[in-house]
Structure 1
């Protein structure tokens, strides 16, 4: 058995693995040496997944047997040269995994290791002969641009768009299926690869899949071409591979965007990175935080130091408390999602170990998705200001947190989950409801509208939004009141000057051009009142017509299953289109949310776990309103909300009270 010799911290030593020459089938022989990490040190850093820890292979290390996971074993066999020694840094071998203190220290050094490596080599895993088609297509796409490094730096522009489309549409279903499999390998979902590829020298990084390898820059070009033609690819692939929903392409596109993240100035904050890469995976839940520290610009200020002696739960709580102190903000609360893997976490602490990605409304100041390829600037969010410039009045005691907040109202009515707005329009993601079927987006929209018409608080609703059409308010909340240029929340004074950039206007136009036959019959007349409510007083609306006198549940099923034949609200063929910016914005905002009417008359979106009777508050020091649940005499945090009409400090003239969250 191999026994590690301690590293000398005085000269910054790391270990390097020398893979001795050999044929593909001979035993793998290696030596492990110590060397100071200096700019002149020549080595390749390996980026890979550990794989199944129970299936292993044996190598010879300094004359001793050494066990590695089968995925690493296959990587070593494929990367070994027949005549020359190859020098690698590989975490599973070059870090003593049983030495907790060394592991913690070396994690901090990985930023320097991957940025100083002469090459970074990605190992995706073993491949079949058919998989070589994907590698050939990636090389072909890379060859289109010639010098990929220059083009990636300057931007693609329209020059290559037609060529990419022609190349993609000319491919066979089997070739595009192979490309889908390339981007569906586990490596693309691994949290550590985000840092490793962002820090790598892009021009020398390569991606190896089985016996074939392609330059990382060609993969970046391919990712751009894929995003451009994603729906064309899906249509071609499903002809022969109906079970391939090409969802892996999204991981590849996001990884390509990591290069853009690393080029931002100032660097991304740890909170932004945690939120953006939340659906990445890690064997150790602590690595969901530690794996991003090397990219975060504020990590030293927050003071998070890797320690594998701490439990993940304690790390998440400590990170939250440090972030509140450093940022003077409670915005990390907005990252809470349910369910949590760690059920013993306080309700107000995000569980970063979960792989789910329910888009948040407030977390990122900068938006990478959709425009992160070279030549396009990163869009900047301007934060909401529900609590204005206030700072949190917060105190911690064991597992509780006391905050000061202003109550907005209680939940009076809840609509179906916003996921149902988009199920049938994003079938490429393979998402279905709990019954295993797609829901009709039109039914969800109409249900939400009928809630307004049927609301006991109709007069409060009309009174609150009397200066702007209630329909306009409804459409604005579907995109969280942002325009499509700089993802900027507009206050009331700015809206008149920025109407042409507003996604909600397109939605409203589609609505008004549609015969709203899906509305409840007795709400048809009130639909016209909603369209023009800004010109009426509360008493002008006949609320009696907003209720079903029979009390019978109405059948809203689309009997013939044809969306085209249904005369539906919002005209889905135009609005519910994944390529449409309005729908993208709606998906980003409404996924994981439910439409809500508060007893105060406010309309908005709340987490899907919200229940009737829960409260919505504005907490001092938090950009977003928060949903609070009273259970067994204690207050629990549910999640962030968007409540139309209170996102610009409108509630700050209310009386603040202290609540204690468990």
Structure 2
């Protein structure tokens, strides 16, 4: 059972916003979509709130949501929406935890996911028009001012929506996406096609990483048979640097997109659990229960002690911008890898998803004791940094046999979501023990 919002019509955009809430049951039948739209937006600052009327009661909402509803309201007919800030009782923690588990399904079964980027500013109308024109295979109608166009598109793509963690789940589940900015709107697939063809932001690596991952998810909407098609390890490796109001949201948002069975993983959507406990549970779920983990308050860093072995080294890295920025890596294997079907000194090509931290030549592929997948790490002084916690190798790669136990040795690894300086780590923890060095 969920709630839906009936946004009542008005001819004047400046009129007070009148709404109604009603209960609705999502069906598990063969119907692909339901008669409502789901809003994807950034909440914005919780100051200078506006009020909307719901059945005669005043509910405070952020200015960004108020402006979105003002623009989305029809002049003559009701509009049925699902909006998290209104349809979930934000003052009831237990309800929030229950509803979070349904969010991927809510967005997957919506007739459309409406992306609200904000009000018109910095020539955003022109930016959307140029993106639409590019998607149609035409040249800009304003060739005399391409600099202004590029600046307007770049400004649009740097809006906060592209940086938030929850939007990933929302567009990853969508069957149809509509991009709106002020009164301008365009189809999600056309938006992705136009941005990809313009592709003028190659020199801005941060913007490139943010935009391409979201564009890839939106573009796939029209081909999507359902939601939750990626493994949790892949999602965490790709998106953990995204922004969230609460640290817990970084985990809950990504797990909501996951195809893994999380029922036994101690990863339920409980905000009362300390962040450190949640991060430790996530780390053990992605690796194995045998590892020893240590966290540090609200820091997004975990220290991992485990046994493991080095399988090989990355010798070449190539990016594929046509596949959402995926990376092709060549791995040269050592003698340990013979039991996995590789000869010493042989190489293999792996295609891996685009990561929050890019793989580099010289990184190592290791397997921790009890883990089902290799981990890609980078040697740093007296420990290894985790670059990719769960790498999916090509099919046919064999698991290590139990006879390899004597080859395992102590590893010290750091999984750092904050990209904290190593000097800061040494100041906080002192000299780390030399368990992770290569011999």
TM more than 0.5: yes
Say if 2:13 is the partner of 1:49.
Answer: no
> In the alignment, which of 189, 198, 216 is matched to residue 217 of structure 1?
189
Structure 1 residues 313 and 362, CA, compared in 2 at 3 Å: closer, same or farther? farther
- Whether the aligned pair in 2 keeps the contact of 1:121 and 1:208 (CA below 8 Å) is yes
Correspondence 1:311-326 to 2 at 5 A: 311-325=274-288
- Whether the aligned pair in 2 keeps the contact of 1:111 and 1:199 (CA below 8 Å) is yes
Output the CA distance in 2 between the equivalents of 1:618 and 1:20: 57
2:172 is paired with a residue whose SS is helix
- Whether the aligned pair in 1 keeps the contact of 2:131 and 2:195 (CA below 8 Å) is no
Deviations 1:465-484 (A, max 9, x none): xxxxxxxxxxxxxxxxxxxx
Structure 1 residues 102 and 590, CA, compared in 2 at 3 Å: closer, same or farther? same
> In the alignment, which of 263, 268, 289 is matched to residue 305 of structure 1?
268
Structure 1 residues 129 and 169, CA, compared in 2 at 3 Å: closer, same or farther? closer
1:281 is paired with a residue whose SS is coil
TM-fit CA distance, 1:260: 6.8
Say if 2:344 is the partner of 1:372.
Answer: no
Say if 2:9 is the partner of 1:21.
Answer: yes
Kindly name which structure, 1 or 2, has the bigger radius of gyration based on alpha carbons.
Answer: 1
Structure 1 residues 302 and 32, CA, compared in 2 at 3 Å: closer, same or farther? same
Alignment gaps of 5+ in structure 1:
1-12, 145-162, 235-244, 350-360, 392-489, 502-583, 592-603, 607-616, 631-636, 643-647
TM-fit CA distance, 1:315: 0.8
| Aligned length in residues | 375
* Corresponding residue number in structure 1 for 2:82: 89
Output the CA distance in 2 between the equivalents of 1:287 and 1:390: 40
1:67 is paired with a residue whose SS is strand
1:187 is paired with a residue whose SS is helix
Say if 2:236 is the partner of 1:274.
Answer: yes
* Corresponding residue number in structure 2 for 1:139: 132
Give the TM-score normalised by the residue count of structure 2.
0.71
> In the alignment, which of 213, 218, 221 is matched to residue 254 of structure 1?
213
TM-fit CA distance, 1:273: 0.5
- Whether the aligned pair in 2 keeps the contact of 1:260 and 1:372 (CA below 8 Å) is no
Output the CA distance in 2 between the equivalents of 1:122 and 1:368: 29
TM-fit CA distance, 1:299: 3.8
- Whether the aligned pair in 1 keeps the contact of 2:313 and 2:333 (CA below 8 Å) is no
Output the CA distance in 2 between the equivalents of 1:301 and 1:368: 35
Higher strand share: 2
* Corresponding residue number in structure 1 for 2:385: 639
Give the TM-score normalised by the residue count of structure 1.
0.49
TM-fit CA distance, 1:29: 0.9
CA RMSD of aligned residues (A): 4.6
Structure 1 residues 283 and 654, CA, compared in 2 at 3 Å: closer, same or farther? same
* Corresponding residue number in structure 2 for 1:31: 20
Alignment gaps of 5+ in structure 2:
306-311, 389-397, 414-431, 433-439
Structure 1 residues 270 and 660, CA, compared in 2 at 3 Å: closer, same or farther? closer
- Greater RCO structure (CA 8 Å; 6+ sep): 1
Structure 1 residues 169 and 491, CA, compared in 2 at 3 Å: closer, same or farther? farther
1:347 is paired with a residue whose SS is strand
Output the CA distance in 2 between the equivalents of 1:388 and 1:256: 37
* Corresponding residue number in structure 1 for 2:161: 187
Output the CA distance in 1 between the equivalents of 2:246 and 2:98: 16
Output the CA distance in 1 between the equivalents of 2:241 and 2:133: 31
Structure 1 residues 107 and 385, CA, compared in 2 at 3 Å: closer, same or farther? farther
> In the alignment, which of 207, 226, 229 is matched to residue 179 of structure 2?
207
Deviations 1:532-583 (A, max 9, x none): xxxxxxxxxxxxxxxxxxxxxxxxxxxxxxxxxxxxxxxxxxxxxxxxxxxx
TM-fit CA distance, 1:86: 0.9
- Whether the aligned pair in 1 keeps the contact of 2:7 and 2:20 (CA below 8 Å) is yes
Structure 1 residues 213 and 309, CA, compared in 2 at 3 Å: closer, same or farther? same
Say if 2:359 is the partner of 1:589.
Answer: yes
Higher helix share: 1
Output the CA distance in 1 between the equivalents of 2:320 and 2:48: 37
2:102 is paired with a residue whose SS is helix
Output the CA distance in 2 between the equivalents of 1:217 and 1:369: 20
- Whether the aligned pair in 2 keeps the contact of 1:618 and 1:626 (CA below 8 Å) is no
Output the CA distance in 2 between the equivalents of 1:306 and 1:57: 29
Greater CA drift, 381-390 or 56-65 = 381-390
Deviations 1:80-113 (A, max 9, x none): 1121111110000000111111111111111111
- Whether the aligned pair in 1 keeps the contact of 2:333 and 2:344 (CA below 8 Å) is no
TM-fit CA distance, 1:135: 1.3
TM-fit CA distance, 1:605: 5.5
Correspondence 1:92-131 to 2 at 5 A: 92-128=85-121, 130-131=123-124
2:35 is paired with a residue whose SS is coil
- Whether the aligned pair in 1 keeps the contact of 2:180 and 2:186 (CA below 8 Å) is yes
Output the CA distance in 1 between the equivalents of 2:48 and 2:339: 54
